[in-house]
């Protein structure tokens, strides 16, 4: 296998969530370990890590596959992941794929690619036993290749079955990565020079002993920052909050998906909590982690049973909780889910509500960031361009300041004086020319 892949060029395109980001980077690491090298120009191999969270995501993945086949007719084109998990052999053939594999099978990609390069026939295999499969996809990462921070997958699968969500059907039964294995990978990552790790999973809160994992990874000597990708509100209990509060490396940010602020809609979604319960979780989190805590969320607009009154309840709720960043997205019916059979909200109404929700989200983020103006903050530098250093604060606000000799993955302290385009700017930073900004007066 190593002989076949040696000096082959590969390109990798990753769609979707942070778990997909980890898996894509780990696939790149596996290909490099076999002698291949990442190069987007005239690649011999193209790998597309697919996403199926919405119909738009599905279409985008298919478009990427077709374009890859068109632009690189002689390359081995491989697709893996959630959209691939529900792809038939006929679908794969029509898309021009050489290899299509489902979830918990990504570790096989280097071998399958080498076999295809050696003349093996096209290969299609979804995981028929995904709903009962307790195996772990044996991917690993030594260092991040596509990002400055490292995503570390420690959990896979979901058994929550929200009415709108396809994920349990394509990701399968919940499984946890062995703790010692996860910690050893975190150690390798930090020793490579990467100071920040983001723990990811399809349902991170289902990890068997998340508080203990936080303490052990958080105690690694070369780790500066530890984050969660996303965690469901019902997983944020007192034991976890205590572990986070006792871990200095843990950053003051929790992304807890809300989806709706209306009790009836939440019940129809089968989310497992009411608005007031979510609000209590947010209150306990702020009490444990301090006033700097940034609670961000996801907000679905236009779930089929969302009336105008229910939408108004959502708008009032997000303001009462005082979220920071809100990811607003319209409902997307997914075949096979309970909500797919429900009558949809009219398109014009959906667009109107989405626009209002986006406006409210922008105002909340601006309000959250405005409280940081004139106060000293620290960013971990992710990019240096045109003399400016860009990065994220511990509580997940994008900020920019003159580089002052700072290098990537080094900390930079600044005092923001302006906010624009969801970013805090130091006073010395040249104006970005945005039409709307707020400044220290």
The domain 150-370 having CATH identifier 3.80.30.20: the answer here is: yes
Which helix H or strand E contains 19, and what residues bound it?
helix 18-33
- Please tell me the number of Cα atoms within 13 Å of 358 on its side-chain side: 8
- The tens digit of pLDDT for each residue in 352-404 reads 999 999 999 999 999 999 999 999 999 999 999 999 999 999 999 999 999 98
Q: How many CB atoms lie within 10 A of CB 87?
A: 26
* Class of domain 2-125 (CATH, top level): alpha beta
Burial class (CB in 10 A: 0-12, 13-18, 19+), 168: buried
Dmax (CA) for the chain in angstroms is 68
Spatial separation of the C-alpha atoms in residues 119 and 136, rounded to whole Å: 29
Which helix H or strand E contains 402, and what residues bound it?
strand 398-402
Contact present, 382 and 406 (Cβ < 8 Å): no
Q: Which residues in the chain land under pLDDT 70?
A: 430-441
Strand ranges across the sheet with 388-393: 411-414, 377-385, 388-393, 398-402, 423-426, 416-420, 438-439
Contact present, 323 and 297 (Cβ < 8 Å): yes
DSSP 281-349: HHHHHHHHH-TT-EEEEEEEE--TT--HHHHHHHHHHHHHHT-SSEEEEE----TTSGGGGSPPPPHHH
Contact present, 196 and 381 (Cβ < 8 Å): no
* 37 contact partners, CB below 8 Å, separation of at least 6: 7, 8, 9, 10
Q: What are residue 329's phi and psi, to 5 degrees?
A: -150, 145
Q: How many CB atoms lie within 10 A of CB 341?
A: 11
pTM for this predicted structure: 0.95
Burial class (CB in 10 A: 0-12, 13-18, 19+), 178: exposed
- CA 405-409-415 angle, 5° bins: 60
65-80: string of b/e by CB count within 10 Å (b at 16+)? beebbeebeebbbbbb
Q: What are residue 94's phi and psi, to 5 degrees?
A: -65, -30
* Ranges in the chain annotated CATH 3.40.50.2300: 2-125
* 433 contact partners, CB below 8 Å, separation of at least 6: none
Contact present, 19 and 200 (Cβ < 8 Å): yes
Q: What are residue 3's phi and psi, to 5 degrees?
A: -65, -40
* Ranges in the chain annotated CATH 3.80.30.20: 150-370
Spatial separation of the C-alpha atoms in residues 80 and 105, rounded to whole Å: 8
Contact present, 144 and 194 (Cβ < 8 Å): yes
- The tens digit of pLDDT for each residue in 146-160 reads 899 999 999 999 999
For position 436, what pLDDT does the model report?
47
Spatial separation of the C-alpha atoms in residues 60 and 51, rounded to whole Å: 9
* Ranges in the chain annotated CATH 2.40.50: 377-439
Spatial separation of the C-alpha atoms in residues 300 and 294, rounded to whole Å: 20
* 261 contact partners, CB below 8 Å, separation of at least 6: 275, 299, 313, 314, 315, 316, 317, 318
For position 395, what pLDDT does the model report?
97
For position 191, what pLDDT does the model report?
98
Spatial separation of the C-alpha atoms in residues 201 and 403, rounded to whole Å: 34
- The tens digit of pLDDT for each residue in 183-201 reads 999 999 999 999 999 999 9
* Class of domain 377-439 (CATH, top level): mainly beta
Spatial separation of the C-alpha atoms in residues 251 and 428, rounded to whole Å: 26
């Amino acid at each position: 296998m190593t002989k076949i892949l040696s000096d082959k060029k590969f390109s990798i395109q990753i769609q979707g969530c942070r778990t997909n980001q980890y898996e894509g980077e780990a696939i790149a690491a596996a290909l490099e370990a076999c002698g291949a090298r990442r190069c987007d120009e005239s690649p011999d191999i193209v790998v597309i890590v697919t996403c199926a969270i919405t119909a738009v995501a599905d279409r985008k993945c298919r478009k990427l596959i077709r374009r890859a086949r068109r632009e690189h007719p002689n390359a081995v084109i491989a697709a893996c992941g959630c959209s691939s998990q529900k792809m038939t052999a006929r679908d794969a053939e029509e898309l021009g794929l050489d290899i299509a594999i489902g979830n918990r099978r990504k570790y096989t990609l280097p071998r399958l690619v080498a076999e295809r390069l050696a003349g093996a026939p096209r290969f299609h295999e979804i995981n028929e036993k995904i709903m009962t499969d307790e195996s772990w996809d044996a991917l690993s990462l030594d260092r991040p290749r596509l990002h400055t921070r490292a995503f570390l997958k420690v959990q896979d699968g979901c058994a929550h079955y929200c009415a709108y969500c396809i994920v349990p059907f394509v990701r399968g039964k919940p499984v946890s990565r062995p703790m010692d294995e996860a910690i050893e990978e975190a150690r390798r990552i930090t020793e490579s020079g990467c100071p920040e790790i983001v723990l990811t999973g399809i349902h991170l809160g289902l990890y068997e002993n998340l508080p203990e994992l936080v303490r052990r990874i958080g105690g690694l000597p070369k780790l500066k920052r530890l984050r969660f990708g996303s965690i469901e509100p019902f997983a944020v209990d007192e034991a976890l909050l205590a572990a986070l509060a006792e871990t200095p490396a843990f950053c003051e940010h929790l992304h807890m998906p809300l989806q709706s602020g209306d009790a009836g809609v939440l019940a129809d979604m089968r989310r497992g909590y009411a608005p007031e319960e979510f609000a209590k979780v947010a209150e306990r989190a702020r009490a444990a982690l301090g006033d700097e805590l940034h609670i961000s969320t996801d907000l679905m607009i236009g779930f089929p049973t969302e009336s105008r009154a229910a939408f108004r309840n959502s708008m009032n709720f997000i303001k009462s909780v005082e979220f920071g960043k809100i990811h607003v997205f319209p409902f997307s019916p997914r075949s096979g889910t309970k909500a797919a059979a429900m009558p949809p909200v009219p398109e014009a109404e959906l667009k109107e509500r989405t626009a209002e929700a986006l406006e409210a989200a922008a105002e909340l983020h601006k309000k959250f960031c405005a409280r940081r103006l004139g106060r000293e903050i620290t960013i971990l530098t992710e990019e240096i361009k045109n003399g400016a250093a860009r990065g994220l604060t511990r509580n997940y606000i994008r900020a920019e300041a003159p580089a002052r000799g700072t290098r990537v993955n080094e900390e930079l302290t600044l005092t923001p004086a302006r906010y624009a385009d969801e970013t805090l700017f130091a006073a010395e930073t040249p104006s970005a020319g945005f039409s709307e900004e707020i400044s220290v007066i």
